[in-house]
Amino acid sequence: MISDITLGQFFPGFSPIHKLDPRTKIILTTLFIIEVFLADTPLLLALMLLTTVIMIGVSRISFAVVLRGIKPIFFIIIFTAFFNIFMTKGQGEPLVHFKIITIYKEGIIRAVFMGLRVIILILGTSILLTYTTSPISLTDGLEILFKPLKKIGIPVHLFSMMMTIALRFIPTLIEETEKIMNAQKSRGADFSQGGLIKRVKALIPILVPLLVSSFKRAEELATAMEARCYRGDKNRTKLVKLTYKPLDFLWFAMAVLLFGGIIALRILPGHISPDSLIYDILFYKV
């Protein structure tokens, strides 16, 4: 049944990452993305890879499951890798030279580097955020983090309410789509045959009822919310209060440490002789 799909790929659990405040996770994720883009040498990239692997371990989500998350973007990674291999011009002799195809050492290094970078980025952000944070606490976290924007007239509460309701109704609408499709199939509708125009036309008997019922749902929900005294964020309190715990500060500290390390390693090259072997291993620039 389609309605069984996990929403936003959240895997419930009780690991130290699961227990973090959603705000912490949002901030850490932002930091992580910056760090990955700052990591431009094999050493730094290896450091980020290590960090990611440790985080996966801590999250107690199986590696197999996490790696499956890369599947949808696998094609893009392969494509960019190929692009890099063939298009990068190196300085030395090409490794392969066959008709119009020339491959340089630099091209391969670059391809591996770019591929790894994308993979680390996807793995890291999903482990920190999407796999370990329920959509609802993510929404809560965002609402609080963006609260200052209310001062410049952005209706933060409204956006967060909309997001909550969207999350609530996605499974319901999926179920409903399934039902309507079955109903129209029972009236001889065919969604799998014919050309593009015919197929698009075949969607009308699904989309119209879906829209009509969504409007009806929206209206009924609005009435129900009004009946439960909803009046925007005026005078509104919350059941769940987000509080930073020692664990959050520990993670912040580690993140800052990592960030500092990366900056240091980026400045360091100036202090080591560029001719030495160590320099080449550590700071090979791509």
Partner 1 sequence: MKEIIKTKDLCFSYFEYSDNDNVNQAKIDVHALVDINLTVNEGEYLAILGHNGSGKSTLAKLLNLILTPQRGNIFIDGQDITKPDLTEDELFDVRRKVGMVFQNPDNQLVATIVEEDVAFGPENLGLPREEIRRRVNFALNTVGMSEYSGHAPHKLSGGQKQRVAIAGVLAMKPKVIIFDESTAMLDPRGRKEVVDIMEKLNREESITIINITHYMEEAARADRVIVINDGKLIMDGTAKEVFSHVDELHSIGLESPQGRELINELNKAGLNIDTDALNEDECTEAILNKLKAI
Partner 2 sequence: MDVLELKNVSFVYSKGTPFQKVALDNINISFEKGKITGLIGHTGSGKSTLVNLLNGLNKPSEGTVLLNGKDIWEKPKEISKIRYKVGLVMQYPEYQLFDETVRADIGFAPRNLGLSKEEIEMRVLEAAKFTGIDDSLLNKSPFELSGGQKRRVAIAGILAMKPEVLILDEPAAGLDPRGRREILGGLTEYINHNDASIILVSHSMEDMAYYCDNVVVMNKSRVFKSGTVKEIFSNADELNDIGLDVPIVAKIASKLKKSGIDLQGTLYTVEGVKEAILNYIMEGKR
- The contact set with partner 1 (CB under 8 A) reads 3, 134-136, 164-165, 167-168, 171-172, 175, 216-217, 220-221, 223-231, 235-241
Query: Which span sits near partner 2 by CB under 8 A: 19-27, 162-170, 174-182, 258-266?
Result: 174-182
Q: In whole angstroms, how close is the CB of 75 to partner 2 at the nearest point?
A: 25
Contact 138, 60 (CB under 8 A): no
Supply the Cα-derived Rg of the chain in whole angstroms.
25
Residue 40 CA to residue 58 CA, distance in Å, equals: 26
C-alpha closest to that of 43 among 119, 111, 92, 113: 113
How many residues interact with partner 2 (rule CB under 8 A)? 21
Residue 53 CA to residue 157 CA, distance in Å, equals: 36
Residue in this structure with the two tokens 């209206």, named with its chain if needed: 219
Supply the DSSP string of 9-47, one letter for each residue.
G-----SHHHHS-HHHHHHHHHHHHHHHHH--SHHHHHH
53 binds, among partner 1, partner 2, none (CB under 5 to 8 A by kind): none
| CA of residue 142 relative to chain centroid, distance | 15
**Which two structure tokens, joined as six digits, stand for 13?**
């659990």
201 part of the interface to partner 2, by CB under 8 A:
no
Q: In whole angstroms, how close is the CB of 253 to partner 1 at the nearest point?
A: 29
Q: In whole angstroms, how close is the CB of 17 to partner 2 at the nearest point?
A: 23
**Which two structure tokens, joined as six digits, stand for 76?**
């893009």
Contact 108, 95 (CB under 8 A): yes
Residue 119 CA to residue 122 CA, distance in Å, equals: 5
Cβ distance to partner 2 smaller for residue 203 or 265? 203
Q: In whole angstroms, how close is the CB of 185 to partner 2 at the nearest point?
A: 6
6 part of the interface to partner 2, by CB under 8 A:
no
184 binds, among partner 2, partner 1, none (CB under 5 to 8 A by kind): partner 2
209 part of the interface to partner 2, by CB under 8 A:
yes
Among 58, 205, 233, 259, binds partner 2 (CB under 8 A): 205
Cβ distance to partner 2 smaller for residue 91 or 186? 186
189 binds, among partner 1, partner 2, none (CB under 5 to 8 A by kind): partner 2
Q: In whole angstroms, how close is the CB of 41 to partner 1 at the nearest point?
A: 43
Q: By 3-state DSSP, what share of the chain in percent is helix, strand and coil, each rounded to 5?
A: 70, 5, 25
Q: In whole angstroms, how close is the CB of 60 to partner 1 at the nearest point?
A: 19
Residue 252 CA to residue 4 CA, distance in Å, equals: 35
186 part of the interface to partner 2, by CB under 8 A:
yes
Query: Which span sits near partner 2 by CB under 8 A: 17-25, 30-38, 146-154, 200-208?
Result: 200-208
Q: In whole angstroms, how close is the CB of 70 to partner 2 at the nearest point?
A: 21
In sign, the C-alpha dihedral spanning 113, 114, 115, 116 is positive
The site for partner 2 (CB under 8 A) is made up of 1, 4, 176, 179-180, 182-190, 204-206, 208-209, 212-213
